[in-house]
Structure 1
Amino acid sequence: MTTALHDDNVRAIMRWLMAAFYAAAGIAHLAIPEPFLLITPSFVPFAPQVILLTGLCELAGSVALVTKPMRRWAGIGLAAYAVCVWPANFKHAIDAIDLPYLGSSWLYHGPRLAFQPVLVWWALYSAGLTDWPWHRKA
């Protein structure tokens, strides 16, 4: 298998995994917004509406990521989204907010916070906007 074909296959797998993750998160934001409201920082205005909007953005981003004409925009949007929701992850950790099915210890929060930049890269890589750390050979 050529390197370019292997890279395309890896991107496709990662793209579908990310799309599934964001589709599930979007559905969760719409179906059960209460846990997300608990971790929303106080500086966010109109928090219930923001949670609704973030759920819709996650769903739209997941569909767009697997739709070739929209893929690049989806990668940019999902990368920006991951940066924008990072403060909620910090609030969740710092305030030790206990949510069902999620740990409230730093054994959960430490890796979760450290993984957020990986989500940014993952969105950009899946959309074909970056090659790092795997460079295509000329």
Structure 2
Amino acid sequence: MGSIVRAVARVVLGAGLLFAGIGHLTFAREDFVAQVPQWLPLPVDFVVVASGIVEIALGLALIVLPRHRVAIGWVTAAFFMAVIPGNIEQFVSGTDAFGLNSDLARGIRLLFQPLLVIWALWSTGAWRAWRERRALTHRQV
């Protein structure tokens, strides 16, 4: 039963990434522009498009490549970590986007970003694989 729940959570996460990635390229582009840190030495539009393509690729991989789910889980978690500066930028600059029009709303969203990291690691079994490998290493020592 746990593996079914985990698989459903992985597919839901993948669908969410697909939706967000498509949003980067179409209907939510301006909102994503608001999250690009001003200090980043890359063109804003490039960052929005590139991160959208990455989200689409990760979303598809989570859904259609379950055999590689552990590796995909680590990459997805790393991606969620990599976009935290964008969430911080939106909070610090007070930029309204995605209906987040108050510091409280932007702060709450920022606090949820680590949950996406945990979701990626748990739903793909990456966390479990890491713990098992670590326990095996400790037994061998």
Task: Report if TM-score (shorter chain) is over 0.5.
Answer: yes
Q: Which structure has greater helix proportion?
A: 2
Partner of 2:108: 111
- The alignment covers a number of residue pairs equal to 126
What is the one-letter code of the residue matched to 1:58?
E
Out of 34-43 and 58-67, give the one that drifted further: 34-43
Partner of 1:76: 74
Instruction: Provide Cα deviations, 1:31-65, integer angstroms capped at 9, x if missing partner.
Output: 14222122211222122112111111101101111
Q: Partners in 2 of 1:9 and 1:69 — Cα distance? A: 15
Contact conserved, 1:65 with 1:71, CA < 8 A, in 2? yes
1:105 Cα deviation after fit: 1.3
What is the one-letter code of the residue matched to 1:79?
A
Among 4, 10, 17, the alignment partner of 1:22 is 17
Identity among equivalent positions (%) equals: 34
Among 84, 87, 90, the alignment partner of 1:86 is 84
Partner of 2:134: none
Structure 2: unaligned runs, 5 residues or longer: 129-141
Contact conserved, 1:65 with 1:72, CA < 8 A, in 2? no
Q: Partners in 2 of 1:33 and 1:121 — Cα distance? A: 26
Q: Partners in 2 of 1:34 and 1:70 — Cα distance? A: 33
Q: What are the equivalent positions in structure 2 for 1:1-138 lying under 5 Å apart? A: 6-31=1-26, 32-44=28-40, 45-66=42-63, 67-99=65-97, 101-131=98-128
Q: CA RMSD in A?
A: 1.7
1:70 Cα deviation after fit: 3.0
